[in-house]
Amino acid sequence: MEQQTARYHWPEPGSADTATAMPLLPYQPLTLEATFSCAAVAAASASGPGPHVVLSTTPPRVDPAAAPLPGLRVVEDDGMLRISSYGTRIAQQAVPAAGECTWQVHSDHRRTELRKDGNIVARVDADVRPAVSGAFTDSSTVDGLRLDLVADTRFQTAPSSAKLALGIACLLALGAMLAAVGRLDRAHRGHSRTGSRRGWWRPRAVDGVVAALAVVWQFIGPVTVDDGYIAGIVRGSEHSGFLGNAYRWLNAPEAPFSWIYEPYRLWSQVSVEALWLRVPSTLLLLSSWWLLSRLLLPRLGRFGGQRWVPWLAATALLVWWLPFNLGLRPEPWVAVGTLAVFYLVERAIATWTIRPLALAVALAPVTAAVTPGGIMALAPLGCAAVPLFRLLRTRTDLSVTARVVVPLAALGVAALPMFADQGLAAVVEAVRVRTLIGGDLPWYQEPQRYAHLLGFDSFEGSLPRRAAVLLTLTGVAALMWTLSRRRARQLPGLSRPVAIRLTATFTVALATMTFTPTKWTQHFGALAGIGAAVLVVACHTWSRSRNWHTAELLAGLAVTTVVGSLVLAGRNEWPYLSNDGVTWGTITPQLGGVELATLALTMGGTLTVALAIVAAWRRSGGRRALPGSSRLPSPALLTALLMVATVGLSFYSFGKAGLARADSYTMASDNLAAAQGDSCGLADALAVEADPRRGALPAAGAGPTATDRPELAVGGAVLPGWLAAPAEPTGDGTGPAFRTGWFRLSQAQRDGDLPVVVTTNGRAGRITARFAGPGTSTETEVAAPVSTERGDTVDVRVMAPGGAARVRLDVAAGGEPLAVSVPRSPELSPMNSLLPPGSSAVVDWPVAFFFPCVRHAAMTEGGTELPGWRLTTQQGNDAGEVAYSPVHGGPFAAARLLSRQQRVPVYLRGEPAREPARLYRWQPRTAARARPHLTERTVPGWSDAAPLNVPGLSG
């Protein structure tokens, strides 16, 4: 592997900076040498009252909201020198009263030792290498101070020429092997040639509908929960040169899984706009449709030739695909790979040939390397083990060695993408760090996934997700019952062995999800291809209601009623901004004020009970229980109607939201703008209040009875007229603790274009805005938000009612001090004017998909950039904090220590009371930035550097 080495030195020749930024990533260097003289100690001691920082690798004073890092600290206090590293005391020595001396600290992963004039005076035999975010001293001079370190760049590798040549040779050998096996297949005298039906390639109306819906969904469809996460990983690799986790785990690479990020990285070099990044998932949908409709359905039996089957298959595939597989998540890749493996296995069995089997054996592990859940791609091989082994045993034209070598050689192809740009030691260390930091759940907590699916507190249990999973699980249960009975052999047009293998494959694939490290319902999307096929077969068997016994029909109707009701009990909810304006996005579906779930359960239950009573009455008289049962609604019909309704609801709700919110932001408006030219995503719809000191509303009559608090600020800017509310309510505890005078609204506020904005600083409280005007008097009570970060402030935004001209505030603290600003009418400017396209920022993962024009802060050369901005989630969502949390291995934890964070209020076009994302200005504490000295070297893939450490964790 070709590896970059980065060395940092402080002070640089000719530099006199007493503070230098050096935010390492990982936080610890491979080795560190620090030197300080007695003269340097004396110079630091002369800086003022003690204690005095002689040398530190973390800033002595940091933002209170930033998480600390355990660095190297050399502190002089009252004649004593205290030295600590990574939270461990190294030594405590008396400072010599006179004379010259030199102290040296050497630290690596084996030991850290302190030398004085070349003699060891203290030593710790453990890995206590300090975290480094820079070099700092209280001394007014850098004379006698020096810091030299080698940054940890083990992951910044690229394949060497030898490794590339070996990979190409492996691919050529695989191609040659497949060609040779193909020749043997053609020469095999006993194999049957099962060809495709004539005209199978011709386009049909259903193909055009699927393609059109796929393109429309690409424009209007929602984001997935991790689109921003993956977009950040892909864009972070622009600078680092490898695919590391840009938000946690010390930016360790995602290897051995998630090789699909490499194609996404190449794809993103054309554009990082959402519309372009969604193209691969749309192509994967069309690939799934081609595999299902052209290759798999004919293999399932003659019933696939009926006119209604392709339409049902298209609906089933969309039911699975729409809620899960639009975006950058790996599930659509696994869905296509698993479906292709299943078809290749069936092709090998049908034609009695080896080459499809070899292709299946090669494709299955490559799919498994996409994500831990991709192991389900091996399920078709396991479920068809008996006929496949029979195939290998009966192919006497192949030697015993060839029968073993061909599958094993194909299986080994997975190693190519898994170790493409990382060595073995780096992959092992990345896995160790991810395991150490954790966040994963053990296999026996798999029921949590289904608890999320049936929950009502998030989009994890949304109606579309329930429809796909619950209907297919019901179909699997029905197929197991039907296919296990003898009369299943009489099901017309169905290949029973293939149907059994399909059902078994889905069941095994579902079981393999037990071993995925996380338990989110998003992972169900990997079952989309196989799940759609199962739904088609299940509906075919359910449609044969005339062959059912009465008990079976009643049981089928009862189960379908219960499952359908559970589906309708879910909200039509989608992740993040995608849920804005969606029909039933915040409530369960209703009709005339009655929940559809309750209505469906009542009607279906009543019908089932009534039929059961009729059947019992007729049977008591010795007659046939239910004559004409084929005219009753079958489970197949009810399932098909529910699938059509789910697909229709998805398209209708997003189309309606896109039209109704045309003056605000939607994915539809974003993608349409991108199709017409350059688009900056959500930034185009946002305005910022660059100077909150401006826009204070003028007093209307008596001024506010307030105490000015100029030391309190919003976004670092002092606001005029802060108002302090007492911590306790006055009087009987029900009235306001503080009341302002009247303020005159601006014209924009009277017109409803801008809200009344009050900035709060406190933990709890209540604000009541009272509006008045000619002929109107209105009160609007809002809860003062609780600040989630120490020293941060929060805006309370209230839209004035029609006819209002004045406003005043009643403020009550919730038992703790609360300060509020004078109400103001914000003076706004476009976000793109404050952050022009190309500006560098740390973009937290929940919003990273929405800001294509912002350049992601670089992580390279053993450290990170010091950007001037941070974009994060709306108030109350702290998911983005992992990027700055040392215990999570946040890549920007060291950079966060070097900056003061100041909030800049953000407003959404058309909905100015909302702040869908927060913007912070990062003001660096030091302008100096250390420059790395770079070299290149070739290292073996098994070369193992020092272990990575995470503050607060050990392992």
pLDDT tens digits along 527-572: 999 999 999 999 988 876 555 677 778 888 899 999 999 999 999 9
Sequence-distant (≥ 6) Cβ neighbours of residue 610 within 8 angstroms: none
Predicted pLDDT of residue 410:
79
Q: Where does the pLDDT of residue 439 fall: very low under 50, low under 70, confident under 90, or very high at 90 and above?
A: confident
Instruction: State which amino acid sits at residue 334.
Output: V
| Window from 26-40, 182-196, 249-263, 672-686 with minimum mean pLDDT | 182-196
pLDDT tens digits along 285-344: 999 999 999 999 999 988 888 889 999 999 999 999 999 999 999 999 999 999 999 999
pLDDT tens digits along 352-367: 898 999 999 999 999 9
Task: Name the residue with higher pLDDT: 708 or 757.
Answer: 757
Predicted pLDDT of residue 306:
86
| Window from 379-393, 660-674, 768-782 with minimum mean pLDDT | 768-782
Q: Taking each helix axis from N to C terminus, what angle separates 279-290 and 308-324, rounded to the nearest 10 degrees?
A: 150
Task: Name the residue with higher pLDDT: 187 or 222.
Answer: 222
Task: Name the residue with higher pLDDT: 940 or 714.
Answer: 940
Q: Is the pLDDT of residue 713 over 60?
A: no
Q: Is the pLDDT of residue 774 over 80?
A: no
d(CA 740, CA 758): 12
| Window from 27-41, 85-99, 459-473 with minimum mean pLDDT | 85-99
Q: Is the pLDDT of residue 707 over 60?
A: no
Are the CB atoms for 661 and 910 separated by under 8 Å? yes
pLDDT tens digits along 127-166: 999 999 999 998 888 888 999 999 999 998 888 888 888 8
Task: Name the residue with higher pLDDT: 662 or 275.
Answer: 275
Predicted pLDDT of residue 414:
82
Instruction: State which amino acid sits at residue 567.
Output: V
Q: Summarize the confidence of residues 708-713 as an average pLDDT.
A: 36
d(CA 823, CA 768): 12
Burial (0-12, 13-18, 19+ Cβ within 10 Å), 172: exposed
- Tell me the CB-side half-sphere exposure of residue 285, using CA atoms within 13 A: 32
pLDDT tens digits along 808-832: 888 877 667 777 888 999 999 999 9
Q: Where does the pLDDT of residue 766 fall: very low under 50, low under 70, confident under 90, or very high at 90 and above?
A: confident
Would you call 324 helix, strand, or coil by DSSP?
helix
Q: Where does the pLDDT of residue 629 fall: very low under 50, low under 70, confident under 90, or very high at 90 and above?
A: low
Is omega for the bond preceding 720 within 30 degrees of 0, making it cis? no
Q: Where does the pLDDT of residue 226 fall: very low under 50, low under 70, confident under 90, or very high at 90 and above?
A: very high
Q: Summarize the confidence of residues 771-787 as an average pLDDT.
A: 72
Q: Where does the pLDDT of residue 783 fall: very low under 50, low under 70, confident under 90, or very high at 90 and above?
A: low
Predicted pLDDT of residue 708:
39
Q: Summarize the confidence of residues 226-237 as an average pLDDT.
A: 92
Q: Is the pLDDT of residue 712 over 50?
A: no
265: left (phi over 0), alpha (psi -120 to 50) or beta: alpha
Sequence-distant (≥ 6) Cβ neighbours of residue 865 within 8 angstroms: 840, 857, 858, 859, 895
Sequence-distant (≥ 6) Cβ neighbours of residue 915 within 8 angstroms: 795, 797, 874, 875, 905, 906, 907, 908
Is omega for the bond preceding 96 within 30 degrees of 0, making it cis? no
d(CA 630, CA 171): 56
φ, ψ of residue 664 to 5 degrees: the values are -120, -140
Question: What mean pLDDT, rounded, does the chain reach?
Answer: 87
Count Cβ atoms below 10 Å from residue 84 Cβ, excluding itself: 19
pLDDT tens digits along 869-919: 999 998 878 888 999 999 999 999 999 999 998 899 999 999 999 999 999
d(CA 608, CA 557): 7
d(CA 243, CA 374): 19
Predicted pLDDT of residue 703:
44
d(CA 506, CA 483): 15
Are the CB atoms for 835 and 799 separated by under 8 Å? no
φ, ψ of residue 60 to 5 degrees: the values are -65, -30
Predicted pLDDT of residue 789:
55
| Window from 642-656, 785-799, 912-926 with minimum mean pLDDT | 785-799
Q: Where does the pLDDT of residue 724 fall: very low under 50, low under 70, confident under 90, or very high at 90 and above?
A: low
DSSP 210-251: HHHHHHHHHHHPPPPTTHHHHHHHHHHHHHHSS-B-TTSGGG
Positive or negative, the CA dihedral 161, 165, 166, 171 is positive
Are the CB atoms for 361 and 381 separated by under 8 Å? yes
- Of 651, 309, 315, which Cα lies nearest the Cα of 468? 315
Q: In angstroms, what CA-CA distances link 261 with 236, 242, 264, 819, 861? A: 11, 10, 5, 47, 21
Sequence-distant (≥ 6) Cβ neighbours of residue 463 within 8 angstroms: 567, 568, 570, 571, 572, 573, 584, 589, 646, 649
Tokens 């192919």 — which residue? 395
Are the CB atoms for 875 and 785 separated by under 8 Å? yes
Q: Summarize the confidence of residues 480-484 as an average pLDDT.
A: 84
d(CA 588, CA 593): 10
d(CA 553, CA 481): 13
State in Å, rounded, how far the first CA of the chain is from the last one: 27
Predicted pLDDT of residue 733:
42
pTM: 0.91
d(CA 209, CA 170): 41
| Window from 520-534, 623-637, 924-938 with minimum mean pLDDT | 623-637
Q: Is the pLDDT of residue 943 over 50?
A: yes
| Window from 544-548, 728-732, 862-866 with minimum mean pLDDT | 728-732
| Beta strands 52-56; 157-158: pairing state | unpaired
Instruction: Tell me the sheet residues that pair with 24.
Output: 863
- Of 342, 322, 325, which Cα lies nearest the Cα of 333? 325
pLDDT tens digits along 100-136: 889 999 999 999 999 998 899 999 999 999 999 999 9
How many helices (H) and strands (E) would you count in the chain?
27, 37
Sequence-distant (≥ 6) Cβ neighbours of residue 443 within 8 angstroms: 514, 515
Are the CB atoms for 557 and 543 separated by under 8 Å? no
Q: Where does the pLDDT of residue 417 fall: very low under 50, low under 70, confident under 90, or very high at 90 and above?
A: confident
DSSP 375-393: GGGGHHHHHTHHHHHHHHH
| Window from 665-674, 679-688, 735-744, 827-836 with minimum mean pLDDT | 735-744
- Of 744, 634, 636, which Cα lies nearest the Cα of 700? 744
- Tell me the CB-side half-sphere exposure of residue 249, using CA atoms within 13 A: 23
